[in-house]
Amino acid sequence: MAETTCRRELELEIPAEDVQKAVDRVARDFARVARVPGFRPGKAPLPLIRRRFADGIKDEVLQSLVPGQIERAVKDQKLVPITQPQVDHVDYAENGPVKFHAVFEVLPEFELGAYKDLEVEIETSDLTDADIDKTLNDSRERAATFVPVEGRALASGDHAQLKLTGTPVGGGEPMQADNVLCHLGGADTLQAFTDNLVGAQPGEHRSFEVAYPADYPDKKLQGKKYVYAVEVLGIKEKKVPELNDEFAKDISDSATLAELRGKVRQGLESEREQRRSAAIRDAVLAKIVAAHDFPAPEALVEHQMDVRMERAIRALASQGVDPRAVNVDWVAMRRRQRDRAVEDVKAELLLDRIATAENIEASDEDVEREIAALAERSNESAAAVRASLTKQGALDRMKSKLRSDKTLAWLQENTRVRTREPERA
């Protein structure tokens, strides 16, 4: 019957004869250096040394015998530990055997099932002119400017430049903004702002109540009411540039709009191919994981949960967001990563076994290419990158990842791919 967990508990015993030999050896070592009142160094009798330094002798005996006993038991049972054994319930007798309990996690044992000639299905869609139009229009939106408007009141569609103070009904910390743009009538603007500000003139003050819905994106405001005191500082219209050759020159090194469209198409095709490759990879991994039933070591799962959280935090930081300022339940978020982390760990263990079965290895040339790529991205020399990786002890991890990547590429090359049109909403 297959093990349902990677945790192993061993009840081990060190023979009395081995314990006695170790005690004698350690006691003699103590006697050579111990200072005992009334005796010259190295001349105190062993029975006195054993009584006087009993605790120290015991500690050294256990340190010298326990690891070896665990190692022999692990070898005999053909286990591969992945965590340091935790030892407890030590029953120590100077003239008898030593008994103890050791707990650790091991790599799971499983038979490698089907992984060749797989068939997976992925969604695919053709690149259309509409996709290119959308990308260009998104670029126009990003290049838009806000132009001051004078001589009239605010109208729906305007961007109101506001100074405001929001006071929560029932008490609490007020919200303040000295200069904020509010898109009246915009999809992301609460209707109360549009209703109460349309018709206002620059310099005018208005006060009104806003009730935030229970599903409002900002959890701090969900279901709450605020009274806003607003001063209209100005009116601005959003000016989106025309889609023409001048626009193409302004946002790129293209000479014409037609040339820009061509480059956009190439970029979208590249992104589409990357998504397709990622979809195949995910489908292949999901298929081989589903075909193998074995437990994932808890220590590796916990590590992978941490890795996933670190990615999320780095992603926020790369967008200029301070993770500490985000209203997120990080503990709950980490807990939600568990199922995916288990799949990640099982996939990595399977890739390792498949690599061994297919004699797939990361060569020295593979490692050098990866180091060169890292050096180019970081504007450092290859020698400096290698030195840094060596100092961090990361070269073996790099080689392991390259081996997994090569194995996954091999699996993708040996998998039949069927495509289906995406489901329409």
Q: How many domains does the chain have?
A: 3
Residues forming a β-bridge with 29:
none
89 and 180 both lie in a single domain: no
Instruction: Tell me, yes or no, whether 134 lies in a domain.
Output: no
Question: What was the pLDDT predicted at 241?
Answer: 92
Question: What was the pLDDT predicted at 306?
Answer: 92
The enclosing domain of 157 has a CATH number of 3.10.50.40
Choosing from 49, 75, 105, the residue where a domain stops is 105
pTM higher than 0.85: no
Question: Would you give the DSSP letter of residue 325?
Answer: G
Choosing from 206, 239, 272, the residue where a domain stops is 239
Instruction: Tell me, yes or no, whether 94 lies in a domain.
Output: yes
> Can you give the pLDDT of all 425 residues of the chain as single tens digits?
356 789 999 999 999 999 889 888 888 888 777 777 777 776 777 777 777 788 888 889 899 999 999 999 999 999 999 999 999 998 887 778 999 999 999 999 889 988 888 899 888 878 889 999 999 999 999 999 999 999 899 999 999 999 999 999 988 888 899 999 999 998 889 999 999 999 999 999 999 999 999 988 887 888 899 999 999 999 999 999 999 999 999 988 989 999 999 999 999 999 999 988 899 999 999 999 999 999 999 999 999 999 999 988 888 888 877 777 777 788 888 899 999 999 999 999 999 999 999 999 999 899 899 989 998 888 888 888 888 888 888 888 889 999 999 999 999 988 998 888 777 65
The enclosing domain of 50 has a CATH number of 3.30.70.1050
Q: Which residue has the tokens 């903004």?
A: 177
315 and 389 both lie in a single domain: yes
Q: How many CA atoms lie within 13 A of 380 on its CB side?
A: 12
Q: Which two tokens stand for residue 188?
A: 């992301």
284 and 403 both lie in a single domain: yes
Cα separation, 110 vs 93, in Å, equals 40
The enclosing domain of 348 has a CATH number of 1.10.3120.10
Q: Which residues contact 106 (CB under 8 A, 6 or more apart)?
A: 6, 8, 79, 80, 81, 82, 297
Choosing from 52, 73, 105, the residue where a domain stops is 105
Question: What was the pLDDT predicted at 1?
Answer: 39
Instruction: Tell me, yes or no, whether 277 lies in a domain.
Output: yes
Instruction: Tell me, yes or no, whether 425 lies in a domain.
Output: no
Angle at 165 between CA 161 and CA 171, to 5 degrees: 155
Question: What was the pLDDT predicted at 352?
Answer: 93
277 and 414 both lie in a single domain: yes
325 and 357 both lie in a single domain: yes
327 and 235 both lie in a single domain: no
294 and 223 both lie in a single domain: no
Q: Which two tokens stand for residue 196?
A: 């109460």
Question: What was the pLDDT predicted at 3?
Answer: 64
159 and 229 both lie in a single domain: yes
Categorise residue 19: left if φ over 0, alpha if ψ from -120 to 50, beta otherwise.
alpha
161 and 204 both lie in a single domain: yes
Torsion angles phi and psi, residue 169, rounded to 5: -70, 130
What range does the domain containing 218 cover? 145-239
Instruction: Tell me, yes or no, whether 139 lies in a domain.
Output: no
**Contact between residue 284 and residue 415 where contact means Cβ atoms under 8 Å apart:** yes
232 and 271 both lie in a single domain: no
Instruction: Tell me, yes or no, whether 114 lies in a domain.
Output: no
Alpha carbon 35 to chain centroid, angstroms? 55
Residues forming a β-bridge with 208:
228
User: Is 274 exposed, middle or buried, given 0-12, 13-18 or 19+ CB atoms closer than 10 A?
Assistant: exposed
**Contact between residue 159 and residue 144 where contact means Cβ atoms under 8 Å apart:** no
Residues forming a β-bridge with 8:
104
Residues forming a β-bridge with 183:
159
What is the CB neighbour count within 10 angstroms for residue 65?
A: 19
Instruction: Tell me, yes or no, whether 133 lies in a domain.
Output: no
265 and 234 both lie in a single domain: no
Q: Pairing mode, if any, of strands 159-168 and 225-239? A: antiparallel
Instruction: Tell me, yes or no, whether 248 lies in a domain.
Output: no
215 and 325 both lie in a single domain: no
